[in-house]
Amino acid sequence: MLSHDPWWGLNGPGGFVASLADDLRSGRNIVIALPDHHPPALAAALHERLLDDGLPGLRKLDLSGLPSEEWSSPARLIHERFAPLTDPLVVPSARTVAFAPALAGTVLWISGLSGNCWATWSRFLDQYKDACRLRPEYDRCLLALPRVGEPPTTGLRNELTLAVRRWEGFVRRIDMLLYLSRRFERSSVASAFRELAVTISVEIAGTDPMLADRLADASLDQILEPHDLLAELARERGWPTGGTWPPSWHRGSFDLRDGRPFPHSAAERREAINRRVWRGQIAVLYPLLEDLRLQFVAQFRHLLTVPYCTDLDTIHQIEALELAHLLHQLRPRLPARRLLPLQRCKDARNELAHLRPLAAARLLDPEFFALLMSIS
CA distances from 154 to 112, 126, 148, 250 (A): 20, 12, 15, 15
Domain range list for the chain: 11-166, 173-268, 279-373
Which pTM value belongs to this model?
A: 0.92
Task: Identify whether 307 is preceded by a cis peptide bond (ω within 30 of 0).
Answer: yes
User: Tell me, what's the pLDDT at 1?
Assistant: 47
List the 107-111 sheet strands across, edge first.
58-62, 107-111, 142-148, 29-34, 162-166
Cβ proximity of 318 and 297 under 8 Å: yes
Q: Could you tell me the maximum CA-CA distance found in the chain, to the nearest angstrom?
A: 103
User: Tell me, what's the pLDDT at 153?
Assistant: 54
* Number of residues that make up the chain: 376
Strands (E), the chain: 29-34, 58-62, 107-111, 142-148, 162-166, 254-257, 260-263, 308-309, 314-315
Fold of 11-166: Rossmann fold (3.40.50)
Nearest to 17 by CA among 140, 167, 151: 167
Separation between Cα atoms, residue 66 and residue 222, nearest integer Å: 42
> What is the block-wise mean pLDDT of the chain (376 residues), using blocks of 10 residues?
79 97 97 96 97 93 94 97 94 97 97 92 96 95 94 74 96 98 89 92 98 96 96 95 85 96 96 97 94 95 94 92 96 94 95 95 88 76
